C-alpha cells in the first residue's frame, strides 16, 4: 500500500526552513552552500562528492592533468662535447595548465604529485668515443638518465621516469655527447612530454 506525505516546508528542530515548495514543483533550499552540505547543486551529484551522477573521470577528480607536450622546431646546433646541454623544444602542442615555457615544465600550485615524464632526442651522425647520455633534470640537477653507446647515423634516444614533484618544482631535458667535437640534433621531430598520474 503506497503512502504520500505532502508538505510545503521542511524545518529543522530550531524552526529554520531547510527546504520549501511553492506547490507547483519549484523548490527552494536554504542549506549552506559549502561542504559537506549540498544545497545549491542542481541535477546530479558528482562522484567526487559521494553521489552517483556525473559519472565521468573528470567529475570524479580523475584527470591526468597537468599535461604538456612539446616538440623540436629546428635542429639544435653546436652542442659541446662532454657537456650536459639543455635541449630546446620550441613548438608547444599541449599545455593544459599553462605551465610549460622555455623548454621547461613547472608544477603549478595545487598540482603536486607523481608525474610520468619522457624526453626524446635524435643525434645527427657522428663518431662516438663513449656513451651518449639523455637526462631528466629536476630543479637544475640530474634526476634520471639513460645511457647509450652506439656509433650510427641519426641515432635516437629516449629517457622516461616517474618523479615525485612538488609545486614549483621544474623539469627539463639535457643531453651529453662524447664525440670530441660539437654535434647537432635532428628535428624529426624529437619530443618532451609528461602528465600527472592519478592516485
CATH 2.60.120.40 boundaries in the chain: 67-196
Give residue-wise pLDDT tens across range 163-174: 999 999 999 999
Low-confidence stretches of the chain (pLDDT beneath 50): 35-36, 38-42, 45
Strand, coil or helix: 80: coil
pLDDT at residue 58, as a whole number: 59
Please give the pLDDT value at position 169. Answer: 98
| Cβ proximity of 104 and 170 under 8 Å | yes
Q: Are strands 27-29 and 132-138 parallel, antiparallel or unpaired?
A: unpaired
pLDDT tens string 91-120: 999 999 999 999 999 999 999 999 999 999
The fold of 67-196 is Jelly Rolls (2.60.120)
**Residue 65 phi, psi dihedral angles, 5° rounding:** -125, 150
Q: What is the pLDDT of residue 84?
A: 96
pLDDT of residue 77: 92
Predicted local confidence at residue 59, as pLDDT? 55
CA-nearest of 78, 60, 62, 53 to 183 is: 78
3-state DSSP call for residue 184?
Answer: coil
Amino acid at each position: 500500500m503506497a503512502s504520500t506525505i505532502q508538505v510545503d516546508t521542511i524545518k529543522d528542530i530550531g524552526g529554520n526552513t531547510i527546504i520549501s515548495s511553492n506547490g507547483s514543483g519549484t523548490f527552494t533550499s536554504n542549506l549552506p552552500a559549502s561542504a559537506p552540505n549540498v544545497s545549491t547543486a542542481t541535477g546530479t551529484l558528482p562522484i567526487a562528492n559521494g553521489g552517483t551522477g556525473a559519472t565521468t573521470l573528470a567529475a570524479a577528480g580523475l584527470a591526468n592533468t597537468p599535461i604538456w607536450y612539446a616538440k623540436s622546431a629546428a635542429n639544435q646546433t653546436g652542442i659541446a662535447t662532454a657537456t650536459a646541454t639543455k635541449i630546446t623544444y620550441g613548438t608547444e602542442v599541449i599545455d593544459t595548465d599553462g605551465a610549460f615555457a622555455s623548454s621547461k615544465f613547472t608544477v603549478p600550485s595545487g598540482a603536486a604529485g607523481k608525474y610520468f615524464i619522457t624526453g626524446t632526442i635524435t643525434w645527427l651522425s657522428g663518431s662516438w668515443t663513449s656513451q651518449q647520455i639523455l637526462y631528466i633534470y629536476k630543479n637544475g640537477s640530474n634526476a634520471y638518465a639513460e645511457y647509450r653507446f652506439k656509433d650510427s647515423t641519426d641515432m635516437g634516444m629516449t629517457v622516461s621516469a616517474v618523479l615525485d614533484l612538488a609545486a614549483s618544482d621544474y623539469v627539463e631535458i639535457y643531453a651529453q655527447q662524447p664525440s670530441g667535437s660539437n654535434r647537432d640534433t635532428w628535428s624529426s621531430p624529437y619530443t618532451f612530454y609528461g602528465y600527472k598520474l592519478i592516485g
